[in-house]
Amino acid sequence: MIIPVDPSNLMEAAAVHAAAWQASHRAFCTPEFAESHTTERQAAYLQRKLDAKSRIFLLVDDGPKGVVSVTGSLIEDLYVLPEEQGKGYGTKLLRFAAAVSTGTPSLWILENNAGARRLYTRLGFFETGNRKITPGGLDEIEFALKPERMETERLILDRIRETDKEDYFNNISHDKKVLETFICRYAESLEEFDFSTYLGREDLFAIRRKDTGRLIGIILYFDESDGVCEIGYGLGSAYWGHGYATEAVRRFLTYLFDEKGMHTVTASYFTGNDASRRVMEKCGMTYSHTNEKELTYLGVERDLIYYSVGRA
């Protein structure tokens, strides 16, 4: 869970920041300088950032694990406790920070930070060529996130943004017609809707109309293994019957085959959902098998019918 930092958890965030900062800087700072970055000092630093309207977030998973700050499009202070590194927490924080950034997410790293360079490059960041010259001899290098964006004649498929909350609520989580066939937790009101779980996910994309830029649905892939994955898609009921789902799925399949390296993609639908079956068939998918009573959804045991398609 990633939560905002406020006075109630500032010291927890500062403790993470201090421990991780010291560990990452000991190799090229004097011991005295590294150890001077205490929890209290970092708490004062983080408070100054909050006062300046930066947003700070704490990743909690059975205790605080990592911290990050976002100021407009600038991502800073991405730190994970030394003993918790290598568990994916840094990736989660970075993806979340990118999702709540305004504009093109960017960040700076010390030129000798090979681990951070590998992480950011793997997650789609590239060196912009901008460099900050520092008196100590270690320059800072700027990275920016290359937008992951797919287009069709009428649609855009890209990452979920913080500003999509209302459209996601209206077209997915509060649309009971959609939730009859698309598995998602129902949200009664926008105020109680926990949108944070959808931000920063690698596998989830918005389906937007080009003419408005507004989210009208979502598409995702999951259960990825050895070049095989399954996809799911949901479209607000107000947008049914216009061919948007077929258009989105066709483009998404190209992305999965050409950019993600999949060789087989599957999809499934509840018995009776002929609209979803037609989308799959129009996209070149063919019947694979049926799993009877695979799951219980909305109090009813459901059969799932699977279709699949291979890379051409």
Which among 101, 117, 145 is the end of a domain? Answer: 145
Measured from the Cβ of residue 246, the count of other Cβ atoms closer than 10 Å reads 17
| Helices first, then strands: H and E counts in the chain | 9, 15
Residues 83 and 194 in one domain: no
Q: Which of 6-10, 22-26, 58-62, 306-310 has the lowest mean pLDDT?
A: 22-26
Residues 177 and 135 in one domain: no
Which among 87, 116, 145 is the end of a domain? Answer: 145
Spatial distance between the Cα atoms of 83 and 285, rounded to a whole number of angstroms: 45
Q: Residue 208 pLDDT > 90, yes or no?
A: yes
Q: Residue 71 pLDDT > 90, yes or no?
A: yes
Residues 298 and 157 in one domain: yes
Residues 158 and 258 in one domain: yes
For residue range 216-266, what is the model confidence (pLDDT) as tens digits? 999 999 999 999 999 999 999 999 999 999 999 999 999 999 989 999 999
Residues 162 and 256 in one domain: yes
Residues 230 and 91 in one domain: no
Residues 72 and 164 in one domain: no
Put the strands of the sheet holding 264-270 in their side by side order. 150-151, 155-159, 204-209, 215-225, 228-235, 264-270, 300-310, 286-297
What are residue 144's DSSP bridge partners?
A: 106, 126
Residues 291 and 161 in one domain: yes
3-state SS, 134-196, equals CCCCCCEEEEEECCCCEECCCEEEEECCHHHHHHHHHHHHCCHHHHCCCCCCCCCCCCCCCCH
Residues 158 and 300 in one domain: yes
C-alpha separations of 292 from 215, 217, 265, 270 in Å:
33, 28, 21, 10
Which among 123, 145, 167 is the end of a domain? Answer: 145
Average pLDDT over residues 163-178: 96
Residues 9 and 131 in one domain: yes
Spatial distance between the Cα atoms of 246 and 77, rounded to a whole number of angstroms: 41
- pLDDT at position 136: 66
Give me the CATH number covering residue 176: 3.40.630.30
CA dihedral (79, 83, 84, 90) positive or negative: positive
For residue range 262-287, what is the model confidence (pLDDT) as tens digits? 999 999 999 999 999 999 999 999 99
Spatial distance between the Cα atoms of 98 and 146, rounded to a whole number of angstroms: 11
Q: Which domain holds residue 257?
A: 150-310
Q: Which of 15-29, 88-102, 278-292, 294-308 has the lowest mean pLDDT?
A: 15-29
Residues 161 and 279 in one domain: yes
Model confidence, pTM: 0.79
Residues 291 and 216 in one domain: yes
Average pLDDT over residues 98-113: 89
How many independent structural domains does the chain possess? 2
